[in-house]
Amino acid sequence: MKCGSPSALATYRESLLSARNGGKTRIIISTNATCCILQGSREVTQRFEEEIESRGLADSIELKRTGCLGFCEIEPMVILPDADILYQKVRPSDVAEIVERSILSDGVIDRLLFRDPVAKSRMRSRGEMTFYQKQMRLILGTNERIEPTSINDYVAIGGYQAAAEALSEKTPEQIIDEIERAGLRGRGGGGFPTARKWRSCRKAESPDGIRYVMCNADEGDPGAYMDRSVLEGNPHSVIEGMIIGSFAIGAHEGYVYVRAEYPLAVEHLRKALDDARSFGFLGDDIFGTGHSFHIKVVQGAGAFVCGESTALMASIEGRVGRPRAKYVHTVEKGLRDKPSTLNNVETWANVTRILQMGADEYAAIGTEGSKGTKIFSLVGKINNTGLVEVPMGITLREIIFDIGGGIPKGKAFKAVQTGGPSGGCIPEEMLDLPVDFDELTNVGSMMGSGGMIVMDEDTCMVDVARYFTGFLKGESCGKCVPCREGVARMSQILERICSGTGTPEDLETIAELAEYLADSALCALGSTAANPVLTTLKYFKHEYEEHINERYCRSGVCKELFRFEIESDPCTGCGACRKKCPVGAIAGERKEPHVIDQDACIKCGECYAVCRFDAIRKARVREVVA
């Protein structure tokens, strides 16, 4: 099928809509998302297919196999939109009952409804759930409306209409002006104004007229999976954004640089590109406008540093992915020394959305300096784990306690890290901080690509700094001395502090290293590597001091600084800890207090987790020595 003009696209869309049977009962299952597949969504989908066929219901039921629906904690989800019901943690054995009671009848299966961890009550629909109530799903909202492998689904909801209108009715300058009026800033980490980048690239000299447009899908932050879910759930929204951007910039060739560890995203992206070419949305003379644009997929090997623009471009060229100095901007000399524009997955999807809804409506969302919405992966010590899309300016408290449902097991909130390994840790007293680019930077963190890791009272902040610094040390490309040696030195110091052999002078050394890195590292991996250390030092210095001066880890995480002990009075001798110990370090008779062999104990924490009588405590090393 070729849609060689905007009018042909409109006609085809009308034919799709008229051919659809609006009387069918809809069932939505996130069959095409990695996290959902791991939870068993494909087995549930297969069981629905078998049940529908065996009952002869194919003409009356529409099964929509979508991408990620956001609420990863309760997958597999089954949504019945016509009845406004959401069933959570569905198993194949539940399917026949759902069809019988909720599709063929009007019944509701209470045990499959979401149980709010705070209110302790069952909730029937998304409208009742705080996880969805405060979200604004401009980008993720299309996931539930389409199957990601169906271009017809995307066209039916208005897909490629924005590109058709942009290429046929607007000039490149008008498009860039609209992106500028919308206030779009890059969602990949730095928050650079998108229109300014596009305009600079368009104006940059290129004797042969060659310019490149690229999509950064090399998502490497621990715990982050926003870009993966967008590519898995709606790859066409990214492709359409790139088509619009290519016309605005004057580029005819584009690349999507995507992690090889994202096989499903790559599969859906390649399928979407093939379908877009067959419809004439990619290739030569798109929509009869004379504009040609081609996209290639390049798979990265998973190097974190290749998320940096110049390292990414070097990797596309077939060279080692290492950054270069920034005195020559990539909008002037980027890929193959040609003017190049690189935006990430979420930014390109926002371009499509802006052209669909209009710049003014988009700009009305968010704060003065940060417009629109932002997708976060909300993970860690949080009840409602998942992908959330919120308007800029929402507070951390609203995200963590309203959308996220608070901290599991009633434990106290300690900190939240935003911005990935190079982001900062924000303490409880700043929970009412509005979330936007500038506010997060002001407190020593950053927006980053959208990782948000929540930590509770059992988290050791020194260990957090140690973990992320160790990650960055391993991911450093080694090209520049400040990063190669400075991050390694910081990691070494933090390892020493966590082992109980740190000194007060170590804190001064870390501060000096952080300043050195910020001023002299070649790229942002090095210059921001100290953020986790600096923010934990600023807001949780007492924990560093306890590790150094008292050889004490208050959270019982740093193994050299505590040991497990069984208190005789509360111990009932039930034997649960003894049975759970993997190394046989616990001994004792039934109904008699048990003891731990400290030489054999590996401090795995299994006994601590299984004890129902709070008889096991984490004792200070100094307390034991004394």
pLDDT of 139 higher than 50: yes
Work out the average pLDDT over 63-74: 95
CB atoms within 10 A of CB 93: 9
Residues in Cβ contact with 572 at an 8 Å cutoff, skipping those fewer than 6 apart:
591, 613, 615
Global confidence as pTM: 0.94
The predicted pLDDT at position 223 comes to 82
- For 470-516, the pLDDT digits (tens) are 999 999 998 999 999 999 999 999 999 999 999 999 999 998 998 88
pLDDT-derived band of residue 255, with 50, 70 and 90 as boundaries?
Answer: very high
Domains assigned to the chain: 21-128 (3.40.30.10), 144-362 (3.40.50.11540), 373-459 (3.10.20.600), 462-550 (1.20.1440.230), 559-625 (3.30.70.20)
Distance between CA atoms of residues 499 and 496, nearest Å:
5
- For 272-302, the pLDDT digits (tens) are 999 999 999 999 999 999 999 999 999 998 8
Residues 270/303, Cβ–Cβ less than 8 Å: no
pLDDT of 256 higher than 50: yes
Residues in Cβ contact with 402 at an 8 Å cutoff, skipping those fewer than 6 apart:
130, 133, 134
What integer best gives the mean pLDDT of the chain?
A: 94
Work out the average pLDDT over 176-194: 94
The predicted pLDDT at position 625 comes to 39
Residues 228/219, Cβ–Cβ less than 8 Å: yes
- For 9-61, the pLDDT digits (tens) are 999 999 999 888 678 999 999 999 999 999 999 999 999 999 999 999 999 99
**Beta-bridge partners for 595:** 587
Quick one: how far is CA 364 from the chain centroid? 25
pLDDT of 147 higher than 60: yes
- For 342-359, the pLDDT digits (tens) are 999 999 999 999 999 999
The predicted pLDDT at position 221 comes to 83
* Tally of CA atoms within 13 A in the half-sphere of 27 that contains its CB: 27
The pair of three-digit structure tokens given for residue 310, joined into one six-digit string: 């110049």
CA neighbor of 390 nearest in space, from 413, 365, 409: 365
Angle at 584 between CA 583 and CA 585, to 5 degrees: 95
CB atoms within 10 A of CB 530: 28
- For 386-445, the pLDDT digits (tens) are 999 999 999 999 999 999 999 998 999 999 999 888 899 999 999 999 999 999 999 999
Angle at 360 between CA 356 and CA 364, to 5 degrees: 110
CA neighbor of 244 nearest in space, from 182, 167, 188, 338: 167
CA distance readout (Å), 336 to 8, 11, 65, 199, 204 = 37, 41, 40, 20, 14
* Tally of CA atoms within 13 A in the half-sphere of 334 that contains its CB: 28
